[in-house]
Structure 1
Amino acid sequence: MRADSAVSPHAVSHSGSRPLSIVVEASAFEGVARVAMKVAGDLERVTGTAPAVVGTPSAADGTSVVVAATLGRSALIDTLVALGRLDVADVRGKREVYAVTRVENPFPDAPGIASALVVVGSDKRGTIYGLFSLSEQAGVSPLHYWGDVAPHPCEVVELDEVPATNEPSVKYRGLFINDEWPCFGTWTFEHFGGFTAEMYDHVFELILRLKGNYLWPAMWTSAFALDGPGPLNEELADVYGIVVGASHHEPCLRASEEWDVVRGPDTPYGDEWNYLTNRDGLLRYWEDGLKRSGGFERTVMLGMRGERDSELLGEGAGLQANIDLLKDAITEQRRLVAEHAPGATEMLALYKEVEEYYYGSDTVPGLRDWDGLDGVTLMFCEDNFGFMRSLPATPAERESAAMYYHFDYHGGPVSYEWMPSTSFERTHDQMSLAFDHGVRDVWVVNVGDLKFNEVPLAFFMAMAADMDRFGSENRDAVTEFTSRWLDATFPAAPPVTRDAIGEVLHGYVRLNAMRRPEALSASVYAAAHHQEADRMLARADVVAQHDADVVAALTTLDDDGRTLLAYTSLVGLPARASVNLLRMHLYAAKNAHHAAQAKPVANAYADKVTEAIAADRAISDEIRRLAGGRWSGHELEAHVGFTGWNEDGSRYPLRQVVEPMGHEPRLAVSRADASPVAHRQYGTPMEVVVDDFCAAGETAVVIEIANDGVGTLGWTIVGGEDVAWLDVSARAGSVTGQDAVVLRCDRGLLPTTTQTVRLLVRVDAAQGHQASTVAIVVSGRAVPTAGLPAGTFLPGRGGVVTMEAPHAAASTSVDGARFVELPRGGRDGSAMRVLPTTTPAFAVGEPAPTLTYPFLAETTGEYDVDVWQVPTGVVVRGTSLRYTLCGEVVEAVAADVNAGDPRDPRWARPVIENIRVTTTRLRFEAGVAELTLGALDPNLVVERIVVRPAGTELPPSALGPRESVRVPAL
């Protein structure tokens, strides 16, 4: 508790005039003593005075102390409990639990100590978490180092009691530093001389401050057990209580890179990473790793893949051969573990093709029913893009299950390693799904270079620690976490500014999640159709404006720039980098579009692309200089214009230049949402048709008036001046590039029959040449809604009806299974999924949860119904993902779709586009029709539904048409 808050009677204070001492007995764990020193440093950063860390109360300064102790290793705690002064019943026998209790006049042999704040942990990590909870009370962020979050000075800090915590929801909770070159690797060599214990001290501290306990260390060009230098990394991890594992392809406590250090034809290990030809050498290699490192608290990966994370026996080997090899290797590995690392957690990662070996086939039994895996933790893995693919399905699998999740991925169909691009909502939904299916022993997330993934990591760790708070039934978990995180990280910022920081954070991450930054190009978002590029630019502008507002507000704070630096490091720089990259590709799209129209305005967008490229380089330089160069190296990640799965062949967007024709101005008119251009100097005017107002809900159309010649073009629009329902935003102007004129419709004034209005765009007579004229034909009529049920969707242009999934008019539930809204859980908004997530699949013909959408069908006939879905996968092996439309069964994901395999376009395309669309042809009668969607499989997540007359093709675009209007309730 900070001093400027109401002081609790259960608190003790620390200040320069009334210093605390932290008592850590000689019997305490070394890690507890080290963390006590860190907490003393935290309090010094806040108050300017460091508490003394002493071994006995009698050595303490002042009248108050903090006692940091672990049950079973503290004579002080034993005495307080025996005297009835301290109750530890809620802590004793628990895993990683702590309580902070104030005790008055605690020590008879130290009468000068009037009170003690006793931090008692059930074990070493519990005590460490309790100590760091005091730092958080003092205003020190868990991200103080990684996020440059300096605490705000305060003369007096009040530290309060904390009731006994609950056991963490997941046993092992941590991160994987991966794909660490060029950024993290360059950084750590520049600042720490390599992957050393000095660097890992910061990583361990971050994990512990986030209430974690687990690490997969960096593994490309580094070996954790050797780089300390020597054993210092392993020894330091053990001191802190960090459980060190290894990636999915590094068995028996040996890093992948170690093999190149020790291999050779004249060594005991041989020269081939091949279990068939070098079995004895590999067994000696693994045994020596277990002898060296097995005495520490570790998780031991079993099995093996090919050298440097390739397939085990290659594509030519059959399933049986791979399974037989794995059985023998695992059997021998488990024998070695039992001998040299007894009690270690053994784990098999069902990653990539190993998953196939685990499940086997109809003719080849896999490892699933093999008793050689009894007692082994099964590590399930999502599809590398954040979607679960198979989860525990039997009691045996749920006994000990783990999850390997990704915030960073290096591989096909596209790598994503730059800025955060997995939305918090996806993490919440999918990790909740895993937890509900019994994945509760290990959660490890690939954070890539770690820097800039700090906030997503904090959310992941908060979930792992407390699924009672953040589980699947709490659909507001992201909002609740964000609010708490903003308050704790930016306490000096006004509430309105903290809210704006939240908008920047989630705004840029959601933009990145819509399409991974590396996979962006000028062809992703349509430059014209549905004005998609302009809509995306508007979204980017909203994030940029919030960022500007935050920077302006934080610049005025009188805190030596502390809050502004923290914001820049954690949110601002990633947001600016991401928004700029999106704009770069959108400008390139507009450049190409207008160049194809032969409009010189294309050159203005080419200039904008050039400016964005310069800004991209400037932002990289800003990253290099951030916090006095603390993060130099992290600016090096390739991130622009990938043409394959990695940066090979990547490029900045192309820019096209249009050379104006002729020697005078020339008129060109077009719709902003289409490509055709009308331009005529002589003869009958060409026409631009605007029939949008005949469709319900359409109220505005943008017309572009461009000069595709030279000089300045004067233009005038005549006609329709006396049409009550039509408003023209501008009737005259002069343009060197392009003007936008908005035609607006007041639907309340529309006639019941179609009315056609002709507008003429003329070049000013003063231009001195034949006047160009282009006709805009505007048609409109009222759409009758009398008698239509409330909530009925009305067709738009071409009879197309677009319905966002949360806007169902009715729903049904079955035995507690029901559709619920996932706020912002889709690619482009909210989505609907079935809870509980463990609901069994429903049989065809049996009642299932449903959503019903009424819409107006203009004519009787066949319609194509597109169901847009979040590209979730099959979580029960051997099943498909199905739903029903008006009783017809639709298979969204076939049982044989190979999630995670970039060679399978049924998986690869949806995860790149972050949407899956399945189409069903149905027949509807004219009038109000009802579309009912039923969930046969609970992992279906629906975002929107588009109904279009059969055979109608929508204009190419990523996001599709806007939602149709609905009949309002009376």
Structure 2
Amino acid sequence: MLTLLLYVLCAFFLIHDVAAIGQETCVVFQQSSGGSTFPVVQNGAAVPVFVSPDEWPGVQRAASDFVSDIELVTQLKPTLSNVSASGTTVNSSQAIIVGTLGKSSLIDQIVNNTQLDVSSIQGLWESFLGMEVANPLPGVDSAYVIIGSDKRGTIFAMYDLSEQFGVSPWVWWADVVPTQHSELFITSSGCSHGPPTVQIRGIFLNDEQPALTNWAQEKFTNSPGLFKSNGATGTAPPANLTGSPFGIGILFQTLILRLKGNYLWPGLYSFNAFCVDDPLNQPMADLFGIIMGTSHEEPMMRSIPVEWGLFGQGAWDYSTNAAFIYNFWVEGIERAKDYEGLYTVGMRGDGDLPLVGTIAENIGLLEQIITDQRTIFSTIFNTTDVTTIPQVWTLYEEVEGYYDEGLPVPDDIALMWTDDDYGNIRRYPIPSEQNRTGGAGVYYHVASPSDYKWITSTQLSKLYEQMSLAVVRNATRVWVLNVGDLKPYEREIEYWMALGWNASVWTPDNVDDFVTAWAQREFKLDVTDASTVAEIVSNLTRYNALRKPEMLNSTTFSLVNYREAERVVTQWDTLANASTEIYNKLSSDLQPSFFQTVQHPVLASQTLGKMLIFAGENNLRASQAMISANTLADKVQDLFEKDYDLEEEYHSILDGCMMDQTHVGYAYWQQQVNNILTRFFSMPPVNRVQSRKQALPGVLRIVPEGSYGAWPGDDHFDCAQMYNCPPPTVTLDPFNPFGNVYLVLGAGGPVPFTWNATSNATWLEISSTSGSLSTTTQEQKIFLSIPDWSQVSPGSTLAQINFTAVAANQSDLIVPVMVEATNNLGGVPTNFTGFVESLGVVSFEAAHAIRNNSVDGFYWRELPGYGRTLSGITPWPREAVQGNFSAGAGPSLEYDFLLLNNQTNITVVTRLSPSLNAYGSDRPLAFALQVNSEPIQTSYFIPPDVTPGGEPAPWGGLDGFAANVIVSVNMTFNVNPGAQTLKLFMIEPAVVVQKFDIDTGNLQASYLGPTESVFI
């Protein structure tokens, strides 16, 4: 990675002003004419920065970052000096004075001398204020005074200003070039911030092998520690961050603090003998101001499995080895007691698996474990009140089941609720749990050892939806985000931290605003281009969230229905073109950061997505005896190699190994062994046809849209009896969302030929009536449409197209295709407005309701950008979480649609986001539907857990709710043809509806469902 020192040598160009994203802005870059600004750098001079010698060491260290950040932006470095409160005279008319209330004697003296009102932050957690103060010290006429309520409040105040000056929190980790300014000013009224929304906010480096571990082993292998679990920890390069060998953990701590986080779970495997590999790690974390912890399976500040592998004896089983494990925990607390920590309690089985035993046995064992752990706290901290020692119990998987089955947890222990590893929070605090003295929190994944670690696939809109529920349900004591290898989740980590720092500024409507501001700060873009980046990021994560990239296969997206695979390829190409256009606009010093955080994720995802779809098309074309199968096989091979080229390009920029994760041919959660040992993974299987042999039916192959079959020919796709199959038939009606239907004409072998098409219908338009195909031009797509439906008789009309293929030394081949035109315009009432059926389907987005009916202040609100196709809708406001309604009594949305066939019953397929019954087993998620005046139907669409702490039976697996990122609920209603109204009723909050697909007799299989119907 580029070092901070290199940035000093870079040439910078002023593009726009940068502010801390989502926060109050108090930095400007020119002096106010009214004199209401304080100069930081002006006229080639920087004001000095003063701290008290009795200040927290972490604040003094952050102050050194602060003056270095000013230098990065302006090329001028302020002097940083210790100034005592005891009568020191300062020879500077202006200064920046930094300190912590009650710790810095200098700040306390200023408060006393000037009667500065600090009541807004006094005694609060991680709060700060800043303002210009007249005559704060002898010899100082005015100063910008930064006061923190505690150590981190002061630190965050400085990093907040650094970001506003133009230094991104990702200046080191993502090679973000600081914005250059010749002058810096702070408004005299300054910036301030009260307590954060979430008290403890951190990240978890998890399953960091191979990417992060390989990079660390390559870069940092000179640890002074006594042990090295795998050579993965070591010293920070002297040119970076501190100038001292504090260990690689410092790099994370500096990033966390710049993001206004305060908590770290070290890596679980090769990265984690944190307290052993380098004896400076734990004291340095405390010095910096980082609260240390250990993951959900690592109690009492001991690393499992690494430390247990180094020092453990016997089984990791408290029922048989309690004495040794007890002493093992004693050593962990003894080692950590002098430093700030949030202690994980409880216990899981060996290898992060459930304890061995029945539920009742394990509940009893865990009660004993908690009792013994609290005895350890009491003994080592020499206190009878262990409630003063911060503790957390992560209710991960079966542990949540034990709790729900009655496992008692002391009230002062924070309950950390978890997601399902796929970003769906399993449970939130219910009303009886929301006033626990220990509070509650959330452990959440944007990277998971379960199935996805390679590249970003979490929608920020979903992060908002899930975590805003955590806020309103009072799960705000501690948040931990599983970030895998840290990269490439920079943006998601920052948004997570921003929500935890101040959730009140974020709404469903400003998620893209966050990305726009982020793009302006990182890449110096104007608002237009930054908004384009926001759209790119939104689509990148939407497409990857459709199904985790590691879980895609060659038939995930339908190859024949609703042009699904074609639309996905087009979407990826459009996205890649947009990203490349922005990338090419950037100067060479800005391109590395953009490549890491936008361009590579887009191109790599495009490459993988297209490779798998082309593999599916290859197999399909091979089954259809088309020579284009071979070309598709070659494309798959090329994309497979391009995937590696992109990985290497990323590594050449980073000078590291951050994209080593397996992502093709993923078989189980620990699949990365392929990359570690052989750096090879399997290309999706492809087929080939004999390139020199002609297909038995002849030179021409015709594939109608929506069919797996090819004509001429006899197989089960052409007709059920598989011989003497009739010609194919395609259907057109005025309300087809695509406006046409197509035929694929393909070469059935190496022999070149010409073709022509003739029709017996003047009203039918054929996009091309002649052409030639060969081994060079192997396919041609022909579109059929009806420009003027008034030329077609009402009802159903049949036309025929004859395709004639002419090849040398062969008889002409004639292939008929039937076209059925259904003119149903006469069935549309003159006053109708709504969605219209076509080809046996009506489909519409949940956000496209005609009417939104509120009840008691509740209504349905759109979550823009959320979900698979457009957005989601959910009951609002969320603060009234205890409210629910009986079926038909709650707020409703209404959708008008028109049925044009004679179907007397329809199936309404409601597509919902996969959400677990997170408000308790007695409040399962539910919604209700009504069509016209038919009886209201209710669905409690998430079944109960099959086992305590488990997930419902349909949840897991490759075709489960979580993998498919959708829950489909079918309800059948009796109807008559004509205009209809569908009503969606709220029953429970937190339900998110994305889309409705109404099957009127011809809904085809696909992953995303049909495209939205025509609206008139």
Q: TM-score, normalised by structure 1?
A: 0.91
CA positional deviation for 1:444: 0.7
Partner residue of 1:835?
876
- Supply the distance in 2 between the matched residues of 1:477 and 1:897 (Cα, whole angstroms): 38
Partner residue of 1:353?
398
| 1:529 and 2:561 are equivalent in the alignment | yes
Partner residue of 1:455?
491
| 1:433 and 2:469 are equivalent in the alignment | yes
Partner residue of 1:76?
106
Partner residue of 2:743?
703
Q: How does 1:576-615 map to 2 (within 5 A)?
A: 576-615=603-642
Between Structure 1 and Structure 2, how many residues are aligned?
925
Is 2:166–2:180's contact at 8 Å kept on the other side of the alignment?
no
CA positional deviation for 1:358: 0.4
| 1:287 and 2:330 are equivalent in the alignment | yes
Partner residue of 1:52?
79
Q: How does 1:310-459 map to 2 (within 5 A)?
A: 310-313=353-356, 317-341=357-381, 343-360=388-405, 366-367=406-407, 370=408, 372-399=409-436, 400-411=439-450, 415-459=451-495
Aligned partner letter, 1:33:
Q
| 1:505 and 2:550 are equivalent in the alignment | no
Aligned partner letter, 1:732:
S
After superposition, the Cα gap between the structure-2 partners of 1:529 and 1:351, relative to the gap in structure 1 and judged at 3 Å, is: same
- Supply the distance in 2 between the matched residues of 1:823 and 1:44 (Cα, whole angstroms): 40
- Supply the distance in 1 between the matched residues of 2:90 and 2:752 (Cα, whole angstroms): 83
Unpaired stretches in structure 2, ≥5 consecutive residues: 1-16, 19-26, 222-231, 235-245, 675-680, 715-722, 931-935
Is 2:693–2:750's contact at 8 Å kept on the other side of the alignment?
yes
Root mean square deviation, CA, Å: 2.6
Is 2:98–2:107's contact at 8 Å kept on the other side of the alignment?
no
Partner residue of 2:687?
656
Partner residue of 2:701?
668
CA positional deviation for 1:860: 5.2
Aligned partner letter, 2:800:
R
Indicate which of 257, 269, 283 corresponds to 1:220: 269
After superposition, the Cα gap between the structure-2 partners of 1:828 and 1:244, relative to the gap in structure 1 and judged at 3 Å, is: same
CA positional deviation for 1:329: 0.7
After superposition, the Cα gap between the structure-2 partners of 1:707 and 1:258, relative to the gap in structure 1 and judged at 3 Å, is: closer
| 1:915 and 2:947 are equivalent in the alignment | no
- Supply the distance in 1 between the matched residues of 2:255 and 2:832 (Cα, whole angstroms): 53
CA positional deviation for 1:806: 1.2
- Supply the distance in 2 between the matched residues of 1:154 and 1:6 (Cα, whole angstroms): 10
Partner residue of 1:121?
148
CA positional deviation for 1:119: 1.2
Is 1:18–1:62's contact at 8 Å kept on the other side of the alignment?
no
Three-state SS of the structure 1 residue aligned to 2:1011 is coil
After superposition, the Cα gap between the structure-2 partners of 1:860 and 1:45, relative to the gap in structure 1 and judged at 3 Å, is: closer
CA positional deviation for 1:698: 5.1
Three-state SS of the structure 1 residue aligned to 2:531 is helix
Three-state SS of the structure 2 residue aligned to 1:128 is helix
CA positional deviation for 1:789: 5.2
Three-state SS of the structure 1 residue aligned to 2:318 is coil
Indicate which of 289, 292, 316 corresponds to 1:244: 292
- Supply the distance in 2 between the matched residues of 1:178 and 1:205 (Cα, whole angstroms): 19
Aligned partner letter, 1:406:
H
Indicate which of 640, 661, 671 corresponds to 2:664: 640
Is 2:423–2:444's contact at 8 Å kept on the other side of the alignment?
yes
Aligned partner letter, 1:97:
S
| 1:800 and 2:841 are equivalent in the alignment | yes
Deviation string for 1:528-561 (max 9, x for gaps)? Answer: 221111000011011101111112211xx4xxx2
Partner residue of 1:143?
170
Partner residue of 2:767?
729
Is 2:215–2:658's contact at 8 Å kept on the other side of the alignment?
yes
Indicate which of 905, 926, 939 corresponds to 1:890: 939
Partner residue of 1:563?
590
Three-state SS of the structure 2 residue aligned to 1:806 is coil
Deviation string for 1:286-329 (max 9, x for gaps)? Answer: 1221111022111111110111211111xxx2211010000011
The farther-off stretch of 80-89 and 865-874 is 80-89
Partner residue of 1:253?
301
Is 2:651–2:658's contact at 8 Å kept on the other side of the alignment?
yes
- Supply the distance in 1 between the matched residues of 2:848 and 2:824 (Cα, whole angstroms): 24
| 1:742 and 2:780 are equivalent in the alignment | no
The farther-off stretch of 348-357 and 2-11 is 2-11
After superposition, the Cα gap between the structure-2 partners of 1:286 and 1:663, relative to the gap in structure 1 and judged at 3 Å, is: closer
- Supply the distance in 2 between the matched residues of 1:680 and 1:441 (Cα, whole angstroms): 67
- Supply the distance in 2 between the matched residues of 1:468 and 1:661 (Cα, whole angstroms): 67
Unpaired stretches in structure 1, ≥5 consecutive residues: 265-269, 361-365
Partner residue of 2:501?
465
Is 1:178–1:448's contact at 8 Å kept on the other side of the alignment?
yes
CA positional deviation for 1:25: 1.2
Deviation string for 1:647-676 (max 9, x for gaps)? Answer: 279632111111246469711112243212
| 1:207 and 2:256 are equivalent in the alignment | yes
| 1:97 and 2:136 are equivalent in the alignment | no
- Supply the distance in 2 between the matched residues of 1:281 and 1:301 (Cα, whole angstroms): 19
- Supply the distance in 1 between the matched residues of 2:338 and 2:545 (Cα, whole angstroms): 42
Q: How does 1:784-933 map to 2 (within 5 A)?
A: 784=826, 786-787=828-829, 790-797=832-839, 799-837=840-878, 838-840=880-882, 842=884, 844-845=886-887, 847-857=889-899, 858-859=901-902, 861-879=904-922, 880-886=924-930, 887-897=936-946, 901=950, 904-908=953-957, 909-933=960-984
- Supply the distance in 2 between the matched residues of 1:564 and 1:65 (Cα, whole angstroms): 37
Partner residue of 2:1013?
964
Partner residue of 2:804?
762
Three-state SS of the structure 1 residue aligned to 2:319 is coil
CA positional deviation for 1:124: 0.7
Deviation string for 1:565-619 (max 9, x for gaps)? Answer: 2211221112211111111111111111111111111111111111111111111
Aligned partner letter, 1:573:
H
- Supply the distance in 1 between the matched residues of 2:705 and 2:905 (Cα, whole angstroms): 31
- Supply the distance in 2 between the matched residues of 1:826 and 1:622 (Cα, whole angstroms): 31
The farther-off stretch of 600-609 and 61-70 is 61-70
- Supply the distance in 1 between the matched residues of 2:882 and 2:760 (Cα, whole angstroms): 61
- Supply the distance in 1 between the matched residues of 2:113 and 2:659 (Cα, whole angstroms): 58
Identity %: 28
Is 1:696–1:783's contact at 8 Å kept on the other side of the alignment?
no
Partner residue of 1:14?
41
CA positional deviation for 1:384: 1.1
After superposition, the Cα gap between the structure-2 partners of 1:195 and 1:900, relative to the gap in structure 1 and judged at 3 Å, is: farther
Indicate which of 263, 274, 277 corresponds to 2:317: 274
Aligned partner letter, 2:137:
F
Partner residue of 1:619?
646
Q: TM-score, normalised by structure 2?
A: 0.87
- Supply the distance in 1 between the matched residues of 2:90 and 2:782 (Cα, whole angstroms): 77
| 1:773 and 2:814 are equivalent in the alignment | yes
Is 2:401–2:948's contact at 8 Å kept on the other side of the alignment?
no
Aligned partner letter, 2:495:
F
CA positional deviation for 1:463: 0.6
CA positional deviation for 1:679: 2.5
Aligned partner letter, 1:126:
G
Three-state SS of the structure 1 residue aligned to 2:529 is helix
Is 1:620–1:636's contact at 8 Å kept on the other side of the alignment?
yes
